[in-house]
A = this chain, B = another copy of it.
Amino acid sequence: MPNDPAPRHPTLADVAAKAGVSASTASLAFSGSGPVSDATKERVLAAAAELGYAGPDPRARSLRRGRSGIVGVVLEERVRAAFLDPVKIRTLDGIADGIAPLGAGLLLLPDLGEGESTLTIESAPVDAVVLLWCGLRSSRSIEALQARGIPIVGIECEVGEGLPRITIDNHEATRRGAEYLRELGHRDVAVVALPFDTVRRRGAVSDEQVAAATNVVTLERLAGAREIYPDAPAVETAASSIEEGRIAGFTLLDVDPADRPTAIIAQSDLLAAGVIGAAEELGIDVPGELSVIGFDGIRVDGLQHDLTTLDQPSAAKGRAAGEAVVRLLAGEQPESVAFTSTLHIGDTTARLG
């Protein structure tokens, strides 16, 4: 046995040598369709099996081919958090569906590496990228991707000139919800808002904060509400979750009943569920004393009510984004797509009085 200090893994060259062919021929034998005689191909495969060669190295292959077969999905904040938000899950589901023809994998990427992150948007070997509710941070990354010629699709995300975007009618839909509350006779309406930017805060929001906000979805929905209720106070939350909704609910409801709003527009169903929970804990009847309207149209875990909400097609949004990716990679120029939400009237809203 000769010295074998470095038990490296076999490479294509090793296989080729063992099979008595050139590396190029071996490569052809593996890629399948090349003009290689059956005998040769078999010999190469046999040599590979004997050496324990498991096929071409994906890294080298993707370098040479220029494609990795991976589509990145950029999530604001931690990857973990995305798994807790049913809307994101549904959207991811749709994306997976939409890119199915590519046979590509889905790489989940946090927007900003949390300090130690080695794999960032810029350093990930992706063929295309879908941005999901991206914040301001992404703008530099977007430039980097564009410089590298990587197709980008944005979902609810300002993504720059000429790039396809998937959106819904945040403003218009919320306005419709607010109008419905007005028809029910409500005059004192408050908004429980999604985060305004990537710095997560809680509590009442001043006009300056609104002006400085970067989260487009939050702003559009807020503007839609204020088109009907220009003076509606807004409470910011740190995330879209039931617990955050509950906290915001207490802020708005645990006050002198005279100062209490009669209706609350929550910017997500999870927040709405939290608000309803807070109301119940405070002995406030929903919808008798308080009407609550949500956004998303998900079914909230544990919520006993049929939430009045603005039903948005999350999965369809994801699918549209996936399809846009496919077309971009095919060299086409897909259009942006704007979806529409529908007002679902449940049992959490009622006529005032």
Q: Which residues in A have some Cβ–Cβ distance to B below 8 Å?
A: 9, 52-63, 66, 68-70, 72, 78-80, 83-84, 89-90, 92-93, 96-97, 100-109, 113-114, 116-119, 122-126, 143-145, 147-149, 299, 301-302
Contact = CB atoms under 8 A, between A and B. Distances in A.
Contacts of A53: 147
Given A83-B92, A117-B103, A125 B301 contact: no
A62 B124 CA distance: 9
Given A55-B122, A103-B114, 4 more contacts: A55-B123, A83-B92, A84-B93, A105-B107
A109 B72 CA distance: 13
Contacts of A299: 301-302
Contact of A124 (B56, B90, B105, B117): B105
B80 A96 contact: yes
Query: How many copies of this chain does the complex contain?
Result: 2
A13 to B, nearest CB: 15
A68 B125 contact: yes
Contacts of A97: 80
Contacts of A118: 69, 102-104
B93 A80 contact: yes
Contact of A103 (B72, B108, B119, B122): B119
| A-B interface, 3 closest residue pairs, ranked by CB to CB distance from nearest | A103-B117, A69-B119, A54-B147
Given A54-B144, A125-B59, A147-B53, A119 B93 contact: no
A66 B61 CA distance: 13
12 contacts: A9-B147, A9-B148, A54-B145, A62-B125, A69-B118, A78-B96, A80-B96, A80-B97, A83-B90, A100-B114, A103-B117, A107-B107
